[in-house]
Copies of this chain bind each other. A is one copy, B any other.
Amino acid sequence: MRRQNLALVLGAVAAHGPLSRADAAAATGLTRAAVSSLVVELLQGGLVVELGPAPSGRVGRPGNALALSPRGPAGLGLEVGVEHLAACVVDLRGEVRAEARLPAANRGRPADAVLAELAGLAERVTAEARGLGLRPVGATLAVPGLVDAATGTVVRAPNLGWSALELPGTLLGLPLVAENEANLGALAELWQGGALDVVHVSAEAGIGAALVVGGRLFRGARGFAGELGHVPVRPDGPDCACGARGCLEQYAGEQAVLAAAGLDPAPEDQVGLLAARAAAGEPRVLAALEQAGTALGTALSGAVNLVDPAAVVLGGAYAELGAWLLPGMRRELAGRVLVRPWRPELLTVSALGRRGPLLGAALVTIRRILDDPGSAAASGPPRSAG
């Protein structure tokens, strides 16, 4: 009961803060005395801070305003991409306080080496965060592939060449959980006020999607829902790294688009390269992106006809290519979605873009703390996201 009430008060501060103890009592329906006692615990745990006296229309002594702490417990987000590694620390308010990103050629690279380099990056951002008074209490790793959250196993990540890879349960002494990167991108969007019934596309080297249903992640029977990148676009199309043929990734994945555009891979940022060349008006690049947008739209039309979401969001690095991808996507959706008219504004671009999955990874720990403030003190057991 006290744990639930702690979460209630912390939730009120998160949703409406800064606010006084009296306002917290009004928002939660708890007595002023109960709130005061709970606030003592939240202050001791470093979860809230007192700002100056709160303005109040009430008679009597003005109370100090409470706000989520910009120090104290924090979440560590980690990401293994096909071409990069990234880490960030987010405070209780959801603000990124330390962040680092490294280019890395991870395709086919031994997982040990990838995780060792990632640990170095994580050490750097956590040290920086500690210097700011933050204390990371949990870590979540975003992976471009199928993750079995219950066992911490990466079942299959075709673009990395990982399969049946068991991840360590801790990193830098923090409990570590893994999660599909598209799921984390969708959660980041959802937790920042996004729509409740969404197909959230997360595209870069690989193409994934997350299905959000009624404000919750839809995981499927075994936890592997959302593999949009391996929806067939043309059944007899090119061979895919997954072993099938004609998957969406073979038409809209980064490598396919670079090849169609006649570009050599950049040393680091393929999406940045494509955006720059498209902005410069290079006809082959424009045609390649048009073709990719059309393929994305074809596969998404099938997804929309199957799951009937209220909105489709383009996230991941491809959010930066929205200007060139959206016309083809919208044309396909308008022509193929059975419930008509399909309104073009139902497809939007995520403002988080390529930072979504990393931010979502860090926010998993923050959401866990807000749901159960006691877990921050104990660094509670790892749980799955969403």
Contact = CB atoms under 8 A, between A and B. Distances in A.
Interface of A: 146, 155-156, 158, 197, 209, 211, 213, 218-228, 230-235, 242-245, 247, 294, 298-299, 301-303, 305-310, 332, 335-336, 338-340
B339 A231 contact: no
Contacts of A234: 234-235
17 contacts: A146-B338, A156-B339, A156-B340, A197-B221, A211-B307, A220-B308, A221-B310, A222-B339, A224-B339, A230-B302, A231-B306, A233-B235, A234-B234, A235-B298, A243-B340, A302-B302, A307-B307
Nearest to A308: B220
Contacts of A228: 305-306
B310 A227 contact: no
A218 B306 CA distance: 10
Contact of A338 (B221, B227, B299, B305): B227
A243 B306 contact: no
A56 B308 CA distance: 52
Given A303-B306, A307-B211, A307-B306, A336 B230 contact: yes
Nearest to A299: B302
Interface-centre pick from A146, A243, A245, A339 (highest chain B CB count, 10 A): A339
A38 to B, nearest CB: 35
B338 A308 contact: no
Q: Identify which of A197, A213, A221, A223 gathers the most chain B CB atoms within 10 Å of its CB.
A: A221
A224 B227 CA distance: 21
A231 B302 contact: yes
Contacts of A301: 231-232, 244
A336 B156 CA distance: 14
A274 B168 CA distance: 55
A305 B227 contact: yes
A225 B308 contact: yes
A135 to B, nearest CB: 36
Contacts of A220: 197, 307-309
A336 B245 CA distance: 8
Contacts of A233: 232, 235
B222 A338 contact: no
Contacts of A332: 235
A309 B221 contact: yes
Contacts of A209: 306
A299 B305 CA distance: 12
Given A146-B338, A235-B233, A299-B302, A308 B224 contact: yes
A231 B155 contact: no
B339 A155 contact: yes
A278 to B, nearest CB: 23
A278 B221 CA distance: 35
A160 to B, nearest CB: 14
A226 B306 contact: yes
B222 A310 contact: yes
A195 to B, nearest CB: 9
A267 B220 CA distance: 42
Nearest to A310: B221
A223 B226 CA distance: 20
A146 B338 CA distance: 9
A332 to B, nearest CB: 8
Given A156-B338, A243-B335, A308 B223 contact: yes
A302 B221 contact: no
